[in-house]
């Protein structure tokens, strides 16, 4: 097993006294952060935890037991129903906490393993908990950073023009989304109403969305931010990134098509955004760095990155089920194809002096790939509704009421897997008006 300083320990320390199968999404090399409460408790008792195997380790219990001495001056850190305070402490605190947890959960460390009373309070079956949003999302921005996706949509909607707009290769295009409608995995998504106008219609109409879509994305949470009026350097941008989640940017394509000129998406995107419950840290993703895509023309100086391995090899899948049919895989891609990196997205967001804060969420945009079938949305899979597909014998073009979507993602190591947990949602009927 390859070792990475500050990421995880080698040999015996990389194995835990908590048993889990080799294909578990949450081995000791992962240790992602989330927020939970016991199903038998009120939501008001929610606190941060770390996933390992089929268990959640209660960080509040460990902090109260004095097992995080490096956080003492900031204590209490893990007594609230969000990770924002911990996110704001910075990389040194994140790394020290990760190293402490790796030792405590290592098979040869008796501190927690042999203390039955403490272990019974701190180590909880995930089946006994409810998972919430891991952070209070102050602001949410969604980018448009997959070149393959942008080209697909350009060809689809502007067949007689260049697929990419001139600015796309010079900057990470993005828009400000709606933080209030970011929801945790498992939350139902209500079909929206809105204005739509088919190309041949003289006027718009007010109706239920008829072209409801998904977008396969990832997103990162900002850790330490920047002061208003200051910027973030590309050289230390990763120090500001706390970790990564799966994200489904539910999209009402017919509403979006009518409204998006000239200021971009609004009601076609603001009705729901689902994220996976566990935040996987960059430290856990370190072994899975990949070659950055070639960027031509060369980015301007503030976006120019000396590092050439800013991509991550994260396998992504979309599974779809219906009210009658079990979920099956319909799409796949990989984060490594994303043209603009997370670092570049962060730096560009702050280049004007915009202040980013702990818990801000920055989405990647739909992640498509260069190979056949590597699409991140139904509008690509069906080529704007022209090609139907089958789920359990039922025909689909876009999402129908009762359809469910599950995003999955993982990195495959040597004998272990680093996963994110499912990012799932089911379409609920529009409210009658």
Which residues have a catalytic role annotated? 149
Q: How many CB atoms are closer than 10 A to CB 162?
A: 11
Q: How many angstroms separate the CA atoms of 257 and 384, rounded? A: 11
CA neighbor of 281 nearest in space, from 305, 230, 245, 312? 245
CA distance 285 to 30: 8
The token duo for 428 is 């609920």
Q: How far apart are alpha carbons 19 and 30 in whole angstroms?
A: 14
Residue found by looking up tokens 């994140």 in the block: 94
Find how far residue 35's CA is from the centre of its chain.
15
The pair of structure tokens assigned to 168 is 């796309």
Residue 196, SS3 per DSSP: strand
Taking the CA atoms of 361, 93, 39 and 23 in sequence, report the sign of the dihedral they define: positive
> What is the DSSP secondary structure assignment for residue 340, as one 8-state letter?
S
């Amino acid at each position: 097993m390859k070792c990475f300083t500050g990421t995880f320990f080698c040999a015996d320390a990389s194995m835990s006294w908590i048993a889990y199968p080799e294909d578990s999404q949450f081995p000791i090399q992962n240790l992602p952060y989330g927020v939970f409460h016991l199903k038998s408790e009120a939501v008001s008792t929610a606190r941060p935890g770390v996933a390992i195997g089929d268990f959640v380790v209660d960080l509040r219990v460990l902090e109260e037991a004095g097992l995080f001495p490096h956080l003492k001056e900031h204590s209490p850190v893990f007594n609230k129903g969000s990770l924002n305070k911990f996110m704001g402490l910075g990389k040194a605190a994140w790394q020290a906490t990760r190293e402490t947890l790796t030792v405590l959960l290592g098979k040869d460390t008796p501190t927690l393993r042999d203390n039955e009373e403490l272990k019974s309070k701190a180590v909880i079956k995930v089946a006994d908990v409810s998972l919430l949003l891991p952070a209070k999302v102050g602001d949410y921005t969604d980018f448009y950073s997959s070149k393959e996706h942008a080209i697909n949509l350009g060809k689809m909607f502007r067949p007689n023009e260049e697929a990419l707009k001139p600015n796309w290769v010079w900057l990470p295009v993005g828009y400000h989304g709606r933080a209030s409608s970011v929801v945790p995995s498992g939350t139902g998504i209500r079909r929206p109403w809105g204005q739509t106008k088919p190309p041949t219609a003289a006027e718009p109409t007010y109706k239920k969305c008829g072209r409801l879509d998904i977008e396969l994305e990832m997103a990162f949470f900002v850790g330490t931010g920047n002061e208003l009026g200051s910027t973030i350097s590309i050289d230390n941008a990763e120090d500001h990134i706390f970790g990564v989640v799966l994200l489904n940017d539910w999209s009402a394509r017919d509403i979006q098509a009518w409204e998006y000129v000239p200021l971009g998406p609004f009601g076609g995107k603001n009705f729901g955004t689902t994220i996976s419950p566990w935040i996987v840290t960059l430290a856990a993703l370190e072994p899975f760095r990949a070659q950055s895509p070639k960027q031509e023309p060369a980015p301007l100086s503030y976006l120019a990155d000396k590092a050439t391995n800013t991509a991550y090899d994260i396998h992504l899948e979309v599974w779809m089920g219906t009210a009658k049919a079990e979920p099956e895989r319909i799409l796949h891609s990989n984060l490594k194809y994303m043209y603009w990196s997370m670092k570049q997205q962060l730096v560009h967001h702050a280049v004007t002096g915009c202040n980013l804060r702990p818990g801000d969420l920055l989405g990647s945009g739909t992640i498509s790939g260069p190979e056949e079938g590597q699409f991140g949305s139904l509008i690509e899979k069906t080529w704007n509704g022209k090609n139907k597909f089958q789920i359990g014998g039922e025909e689909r073009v876009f999402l129908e009421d009762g359809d469910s979507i599950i995003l999955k993602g993982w990195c495959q190591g040597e004998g272990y897997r680093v996963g994110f947990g499912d990012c799932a949602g089911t379409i609920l009927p529009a409210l009658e008006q």
